Structure 1
Amino acid sequence: MEDFEKKVSITESVEARGLSDSSKIVHLLRRFLAIQQSRAEAYAKLKGGFAEYMDSGAELAYQQLCSEITVEFNDCSKQVLEIESLFLNPDSCRVDLAQLLRDVQAQEKQKLHLTATIQVLKKAGRPSDRPVSHDNCKYKKPMEHECVHVHEITEASGTEEAEADAEYDNALKEAIRGVQDAVTAINEHIEEVRYEIAALEAE
């Protein structure tokens, strides 16, 4: 019901103003920029919440934040899809702008996926830095145990650990680079939207 009300509100706010075609398009583009601003604020919240989680280890608060942010991102996507469909209407017939919004949506999806990947990797930590669990160790006396982790460091085990660390480092770098690429693409599209607004307002 809430989604329907939002859809109606976007459509009605454009129609109720009795705006000219170019003014309607400017209104929709400004609405899109406002949605992008909401996304940026949600990312800032997510980043801050993750940093707090890494410091405190408060898993429940972090999971709650992730749920809230997911709802916010879904809401933003639905609103952008609604604007996109309005650009495809015979009234507007701005397939170019609909495609631009679709491209932003694709980059936002990639950015979110890779942001989650980065957080999962950072949460796990480098393989060589991960804490050791003594659950599988043998206990001969109450306070004395034979640690299964104590073993002779061989060239093979050292190589295996180094390879695991290198794989982790590469995965993290790749995800970070992917987020940076997505952000660059999104910013370029937002610039195009601003140019379009300026051009329409100059008419």
Structure 2
Amino acid sequence: MDDNFEKKVSLKDTMEVEENASGSEKIIPLLRKFLEIQQRRAEAYSKLKRGFSDYMTSGGELAYQQLCSEITVEFNDCSKQVLEMESLFMSPHYCRVDLAQLLRAVQNQEKQKLHLTATIQVLKKAGRPSERFVSHENCRYTNPKKHECVHVHDITESDGTEEAEADAEYDNALKEAIKGVQEAVASINEHLEEVRYEIAALEAE
């Protein structure tokens, strides 16, 4: 039995058991399950970060693509389970729209974080415009030790300005994406603190 199946069954069992409970007895297990799912997301991000670092070092495209596919499946499963929880909190059995909105806020930030993380990786894979590799497949070789690139011409002041502008645009895009991820992480952490506070408050009742 694979891990994903066990995770799905575990959530389903939690929901069914809580249907017969009341008040805090119904809510606390779901909120704890939500925190577990967020931990799974954090672990998936760490795995993705390590995999991307390995890819940038070794250039193993196939392994990196396989990892991205696995991470996508993991994130989709996490999102599906959180959406189910959100729906439950909106239902008459729970009547906790506030908690549903809290989970929705986390989902939105997670979506933004994932999008910007992908943007960062795409940018880093491409590299700064001025540092990108120039293909020599159309070169005309006139000497074994020296060759002349047909597609390379003298760099003019205009070319230098365009390259500098392209680099500046790249640097700005990367900076904005990193800042966006940091802001999303900060927002998610604030929401998770609210969840932990809610659990503590319910346990104190």
Equivalent position to 1:165, from 157, 167, 173: 167
The answer for the alignment partner of 1:50 in structure 2 is: 52
Provide the C-alpha distance between the structure 1 equivalents of 2:17 and 2:174, rounded to a whole number of angstroms.
44
2: CA distance between counterparts of 1:10 and 1:149? Answer: 64
Aligned partner of 1:8 in structure 2 is 12
2:105 alignment partner, one of 103, 119, 129: 103
1:13-35 Cα deviation digits (max 9, x unpaired): 423xx533212111110010000
**Which consecutive residues of structure 1, in runs of 5 or more, have no partner in the other structure?**
none
How far off is 1:150 after superposition?
A: 3.7
Check whether the contact 2:55–2:61 (CA below 8 A) recurs between aligned residues.
Answer: yes
Partner of 1:118: 120
Q: What is the rounded CA distance, in whole Å, between the counterparts of 2:152 and 2:135 in structure 1?
A: 12
**Which of residues 54, 73, 76 is equivalent to 1:74?**
76
Q: 1:30 aligns with which of 22, 32, 37?
A: 32
TM-superposition CA deviations, 1:37-72 (whole Å, max 9, x none): 000000000000000000000000000000000000
Question: Quick one: distance in 2 between partners of 1:115 and 1:91?
Answer: 37
Question: Who is 2:65 aligned against?
Answer: 63
Corresponding position of 2:183: 181
Q: Which runs of 5+ in 2 are unaligned?
A: none
Q: Cα offset for 1:12?
A: 1.6
CA RMSD of aligned residues (A): 1.8
Q: With the length of structure 1 as denominator, give the TM-score of the two structures.
A: 0.92
Opposite residue 8 of structure 1, the aligned amino acid is K
Q: How far, CA to CA, are the matches of 1:4 and 1:35 in structure 2?
A: 11
CA distance in structure 1 between the partners assigned to 2:189 and 2:201 by the alignment:
18
Ranked by relative contact order (alpha carbons within 8 Å, sequence separation 6 or more), the top structure is 1
